[in-house]
Structure 1
Amino acid sequence: MATRVRRTPEEARRQILEAAAKLLAAGGPAAVRVRAVAAEVGVSDAAVNHHFGTREQLLSALLRFGGATLKSELHAALEGWSEGAADPAELVRVLAALYAGGYAELALALRQLGWRDTGSGLLDEVVDRLHAQALANCAARDRTAPTREAVQLAVAAVHQAVATEPLFGDEFRRSVGLDADARDRVLDWWVETLRAVVAG
């Protein structure tokens, strides 16, 4: 007979969310079912429901979990920036990895169910760091620095483009005659666009 594993409520929630994230990456939101998550963790369906309530509540918690993961990875990237110049390529890489892992589809599915994001400022620190770099670079080269709002607009545009890439990227590229192989070149273009904004 298998021995029962005791978990704290926080540990159980984390393991359930990690299992749900794994299923999301493998099969999109449709793969994140209470029974599948329970099987992945080795708990009963009732245990998953105990911690999250309905499947929709589990999906909503999973989206917040993805946001927390993104924030953690961005923080790590920002720490790397403190050792040198801010590199927009790292920002684009972190965002692209998250949304390619199923979070773009999840956000769309939840939005269709009526969910609305009420948070703000997830990328504020990124904007601040890029703007500070722009001010320093432009002062050293006697150029006009972009306003903070210009940096905000550029970061928002990149975030929007990278978030919708898994959903509509192929269609948008085909609409202008590009093939699927152009995906990485599009991401590179966004990196260069951010660098150009920061350069003034």
Structure 2
Amino acid sequence: MSATTDHPRLRAVPLGAPTARLALKPVNPSPGRVEPDGAWWPRSRDLTHELPALAAVLDPLWGRITRIAVNPRYWPVIPPRIYVNGHVVKVGWFTTELDPHKLLLLSYGTGRSDLLVIPPGTGAESAARLMAAASDPDGPPLTASALIAADEARHGVSVSEESLDPDEAWEYEAGASAVSAAVPEQPGPPSRLSRLTVGK
């Protein structure tokens, strides 16, 4: 009697990209505002990798994202375009017209939206405070850089612009997320007007 063992062929299964770490104000932008509409905490300075995850989250919330602009001060490479949910998003940059800690997005649903960009190396507690401040609809009308400066002055913690050491990089890029522990639990059911998305 002969025995045959049929093993199924191995196939690669792509890992899902991590969800964008994001906090948003209620959708009710006021014209002429200078303050951000929320905050984004990317895991790295690689826009080619980071922007598709961000736009994929914002597409269903704000309508199709069509353009993104950044200040190139903290971004080593700015791709001319990214592909999100089957469409092209053009990416550009401005040096003097755009706060270096802000990201500008254009979409079909909300028009122009601005996000505070929290530097990737920022500690979880500082990032949680900045995300809460940037997404507070009743907060003071501060620019992105002014929000970061106010948090640094109030708490004496400098928001890092440096790269993470290997242990921190594991914690924030591949390991357990410290953000969910740092962001306080919201009492009651989630509000239709207020949204907070925290990725791992």
Q: Which has the higher helix share?
A: 1
Q: Which has the higher strand share?
A: 2
Whether these two folds match at TM > 0.5 is no
**Higher relative contact order structure (alpha carbons within 8 Å, sequence separation ≥ 6):** 2
What TM-score comes out, normalization by structure 2 length?
Answer: 0.23
Higher-Rg structure is 1
